[in-house]
Structure 1
Amino acid sequence: MPQDTDPITPPGARHRLVDVPGARIHLVEQGTGPLVLLVHGFPELWSSWRHQLPALAAAGYRAVAVDVRGYGRSSAPGDVAAYRIGAHVRDNVAVVRALGEESAVIVGHDWGSTIATGSALLRPDVFTAVGMLGVPYAPRGGPRPSEVFAAIGGDEEFYVGHFQEPGRAEAEIERDVRGWLAGFYATLAGDTGPQQGEASVFFVPEGGRMADRFVARRPSWLTDVELDFVAAEFERTGFTGALNRYRSMDRDWEDLADFDGAPVVQPSLFVAGERDASLAWLAGAVEAFPRTLPGLVSSHLVEGCGHWVQQERPDEVNRLLLAWLASLDGAAPPDPQDTRERADRS
């Protein structure tokens, strides 16, 4: 298991492995108080929350960032069916219980946002509020997801379809894990993403690779040490576990048939980068918030920010998270400067 003194782990945070049904989940926790469970997206790790852990802890919360099953130090089952939404929800419930808690606020980014809203939808008794970063809640409905995404690309292949065939995307990514990650992060970042006239990375030309459309620029918010840490974990695990979440979308659609069109009613928060390219095809989900998220407290677009919102703009995201969390208890939000000073001292 990684050491608590590695260059990524915030001072005062600690690593744990906890048992969940048929697997183990690795997590990093910091602070005491009400539990806030943080769920990362693709292709990331618990470390995508490295800026939020100390800020939440300093504000009086028990912040816990997991490695989702298939990632990092968590178990990676071989069966694609082991990555359907119900399995992730059971993992999250088991983590809450293993930490000795009965309930938690859950916050997710990218695929983690979908896992977070699925957890809130299926287990409202455990997850009392939900925060979504980057990806809005979209209820189950309409055709199968594979049919929807197959129709998006036109003459080119939408990246979700590109990820479906086992081994195909792995062959591209794993030939140069660090280089692929660097390019993917840069291409979806606000400060380095495609400029006018540059093709979208989300569409893959016939016979081509996603990496063919990566930008060569380097994000200002990602250090070599941080990139090396994530790349080393994926070099060790490979990408199959991570990609299996994409390969489970139709299974989710089948499993959630009883929740067709169902809203998530708990208090919620949405934060996304104004330059997040994924919002182009998710705009309808945002427009539907009055119906799909009746408990929405606030929704924010961070100017000039791309997809990796909590890493690109950690101070702003921390401020929004803390204000929302305080609103759940009817308390005044903590002063951001005071929170930063306490985090620095922890």
Structure 2
Amino acid sequence: MRLSTGFVRTNGIRLHVAQQGAGDPVVFCHGFPHTWYIWHRQMAAVAAAGYRAIAPDMRGYGRSDAPEDPAAYTNVEAGADLLGLLDEIGAERAVFVGLDFGAALLWELARRAPERIRALIVLNNPYAPRTTRKPSELWAMAARRHFLHLDYFQRPGPADAELADRPRDFLARLYYALSADYDYFDIWRFPPEGNGYLDVLPTAPPLPWPWLAKTEFDTLAAEFVRTGFTGGLNWYRAIDRNWESSAGLPATVATPTFFLYGARDLDMAGFSGRDPLTTLRTHVTDLRAVTRIARAGHLVQLERTDQVNGLLLAHLGALTRTERSAATARRATP
């Protein structure tokens, strides 16, 4: 089944979008530092099962527009991109799949526009309630003790230049550090003073890896060689604005949700609170499944492709069966 790419005008920008298959839409949302291509294995599986797989380069990435102002990278703006994408393809609703920043965006979109979301399938990044202080303030406190990329990325300039100077090296080191093959928190032994991200990341083994082909890495890296990383870094620089604009949103998510995570994912282990699964179950009121995937880290869809694809198809099938049963019950009610 052929994959196609093109452009959609939405919310004042041009969004580059990959599509494969036909049927009910399933929209895949990536994070940092990825492009739509991080989902290409999942798109093929979902399309073969009779769905329309759609994966945009999120704003600031790949061939999508990259506004200069970090204020343009809030969840409000990125969410409007997705709603405009649905309008463009003539879809009232879609199933959304998200990882990393894509997951955080979907948790917020589900509270802003629940009528447009048929279901969420979230990988690795659980729902997190709004903090009492700005995220940047919390990160700055942690960065007094050790290097923390979240704080380092807040300041335009140094990180942009460092990563753009060695894009392939950075991507290889980070993808490896995020995998189940490395303990990401070893990075925290480095002090913040005098270190950039490449100074603290491990040296990556030569490609290919058991879970990533060199041709796949080359495809991902080629976009960042061309664009640099500022568009992606601006998502970090918009997080305080997300915090400010989310003050009046509901505290819970009522959308049907399926959650899966790598057993060695850094977000579950150290960036999502002391008990992320209890928080998830407390705040997501229609949580239908939680699955722990052994021997997987942050890029779980690449590290354990067959298992993730099987879960995606199982969750999509379960969602359809539940909807059909509910429709049958409504018709039978006098």
TM-score w.r.t. the length of structure 2 is 0.91
2:260 corresponds to which of 250, 271, 280: 271
**SS of alignment partner, residue 259 of structure 1:** coil
Distance 2:188 2:158 in 1: 17
Paired position in structure 1 for 2:187: 200
Alpha-carbon distance change, 67 to 207 in structure 1, aligned in 2, over 3 angstroms: same
Structure 1 residue aligned with 2:90: 100
Q: Which runs of 5+ in 1 are unaligned?
A: 1-10, 333-346
Q: Residue 284 of structure 2 aligns with which residue?
A: 293
Structure 1, 231-240 or 68-77: larger mean CA deviation: 231-240
SS in 2 for 1:278: helix
- Select the residue among 292, 308, 312 that pairs with 2:303: 312
The one-letter code of the counterpart of 1:213 is V
State the AA in 2 paired with 1:98. E
1:37 aligns with 2:24: no
| In the alignment, structure 1 residue 16 sits paired with structure 2 residue 10 | no
Q: CA separation in 1, counterparts of 2:191 and 2:232?
A: 19
Question: Which segments of 5 or more consecutive residues in structure 2 lack a partner in the other structure?
Answer: 324-334
Equivalences, count:
318
Partner in structure 2 of residue 258 of structure 1: 248
Q: Give the alignment of 1:1-346 within 5 angstroms.
A: 12-191=2-181, 193-194=182-183, 199-200=186-187, 205-218=192-205, 219-259=209-249, 262-281=251-270, 282=272, 283-330=274-321
Q: Is the 8 A contact 1:159 1:204 kept in 2?
A: no
The structural deviation recorded for 1:308 is: 0.3
User: In structure 2, what is the Cα distance between the partners aligned to 1:297 and 1:23?
Assistant: 35
Displacement after TM superposition at 1:176 (Å)? 0.9
TM-score where L is the length of structure 1: 0.88
Which amino acid in structure 2 is aligned with residue 86 of structure 1? V
Kindly indicate whether the alpha-carbon contact (under 8 Å) linking 2:127 and 2:279 is maintained by their aligned counterparts in 1. Answer: no
- What one-letter code is carried by the residue in structure 2 that aligns with 1:208? N
- Residue 26 to residue 13, structure 1, CA distance change in 2 (3 Å): same
Q: Is the 8 A contact 1:183 1:216 kept in 2?
A: yes
Q: What do the CA deviations read for 1:138-196 (whole angstroms, capped 9, x no partner)?
A: 132321111222223342232100000001111211111101100000111113x139x
Contact 2:148 2:188 in 1 (8 A): no
Question: Counterpart amino acid of 1:266?
Answer: T
Counterpart-to-counterpart distance in 1, 2:191 and 2:166: 18
Q: 2-side partners of 1:211 and 1:317: how far apart?
A: 30
Aligned Cα root-mean-square deviation (Å): 1.8
- Structure 1 CA distance, aligned partners of 2:91 and 2:188? 41
Instruction: Classify 1:203/1:45 alpha carbon distance in 2 versus 1 (closer, same or farther; 3 Å).
Output: farther
Identity of aligned residues (%): 39
The 8 Å contact of residues 203 and 210 in structure 1, kept in 2 or not, is answered as no
The one-letter amino acid of 1:216's match is T
Partner Cα distance (2:3, 2:236) in 1: 31
Aligned residue for 1:16, secondary structure, equals strand
- d(CA) in 2 for partners of 1:112, 1:202: 28
